[in-house]
Amino acid sequence: MEMSGEYSIDAPIAEVWAALNDIEILKVCIPGCEELEQVSETEMTAKVALKIGPVKARFNGVVTFENITPPEGYSIVGEGQGGVAGFAKGGADVRLVEDGDKTVLTYQAKAQVGGKIAQLGSRLIKSTAAKLADKFFKNFRDALVAEVASA
């Protein structure tokens, strides 16, 4: 399934780019994120707890950044194992465009799930995935704006 969105963020592009690479900010913004650890420049490990329909799962996964072109954007690719709940994998192309002193963030994401989440939650996956993506970028915008304001 594919999702996309666009957000106008009240912060200059450099700060948005920095935040996109700030593991502490990402950790706060990823819905259900319990752990996020940097293992290399471009690789992180994550633990994320999610509930899709009747299935609750804790995913252990690896997230990598690819196609990094500061400060215009990157691709973020992840894959997580949720035990018997199944697996989730996906990626998002994130693009930043300067808009005066604001920044427009757009993303195009793809996600695929397998196992019990697909079997029991199929009707809910698309809406849940769209909601989660939206929540992440909203959280991200809010966290960034708050940080800019407090700085």
Partner 1 sequence: MSEGIGARVLRKEDKRFLIGKGRYTDDIIEQNQAYAAFVRSPHAHAIVKSIDASAAEAMDGVVAVLNGAGLTGDGIGNIICGWGVTSKDGSPMNMGAWSALATDKVRYVGDAVAIVIADSIDQARLAAEAVEVDYEALPVVVQSDAALEDGAPQIHENAPNNLIFDWEIGEEDATDTALAGAAYTTEMDIVNNRLSPNAMEPRAAIATFNEADDHYTLYTTSQNPHVARLVLSAFYNVAPEHKLRVIAPDVGGGFGSKIYIYPEEIACLWASMKTNRSVKWTSDRTEAFLTDAHGRDHITHAKIGFDKDHKIVGLKVDTKANLGAYMSLFSSATPTYLYATLLSGQYNIANIHCNVKAVYTNTVPVDAYRGAGRPEASYVMERMMETAAREMGVSPTELRRKNFVQEFPHQTPVIMAYDSGDFAANQDQAMKAADYADFEARRTEAASRGKLRGIGFSNYIEACGIAPSAAVGSLGAGVGLWESAEVRVNPVGTIEVLTGSHSHGQGHETTFAQIVAERFGLPTENIQIVHGDTDKVQFGMGTYGSRSGAVGMSAIVKAMDKVEAKVKKIGAHVLEASEDDIIIEDGAVKVKGTDKQMLWHEVGLAAYTAHNIPEGMEPGLKETSFYDPSNFTFPAGCYICEVEVDPETGTTEIVQFVASDDFGTIINPMIVEGQVHGGIAQGIGQALLEGVVYDDSGQLLSASYMDYTMPRADDLPSYSVHHQSTECPGNPLGMKGCGEAGAIGSPPAVINAITDAIGNNDLSMPATPAKVWAAIQAASAKQAAE
Using CB under 8 A as the binding rule, whether residue 120 contacts partner 1 is answered as yes
What CA–CA distance (Å, rounded) separates 147 from 151? 6
Residues in contact with 2: Cβ distance below 8 Å, sequence separation at least 6, in sequence order: 108, 109, 110
* Residue of the chain from 118, 130, 143, 148 that contacts partner 1 (CB under 8 A): 118
What CA–CA distance (Å, rounded) separates 85 from 58? 8
The DSSP symbol for 31 reads: T
Of the two residues 73 and 121, which places its CB atom closer to partner 1 in the complex?
A: 121
Asked if residues 35 and 24 have their Cβ atoms less than 8 Å apart, the reply is: no
* Residue of the chain from 2, 4, 114, 131 that contacts partner 1 (CB under 8 A): 114
Find the part of the chain contacting partner 1 (CB under 8 A) among 27-35, 61-69, 115-123, 129-137. Answer: 115-123
Convert residues 69-108 into a mask of x (bound to partner 1 by CB under 8 A) and - (unbound): --------------xx-xx---------------------
CB of 116 to partner 1, least distance (A): 7
CB of 84 to partner 1, least distance (A): 5
Q: Please name the helix (run of DSSP H) or strand (run of DSSP E) that holds residue 93, with its range, or none.
A: strand 87-99
Backbone angles phi, psi at 130, to 5 degrees: -65, -40
List contacts with partner 1 (CB under 8 A): 83-84, 86-87, 112-116, 118-120, 122-123
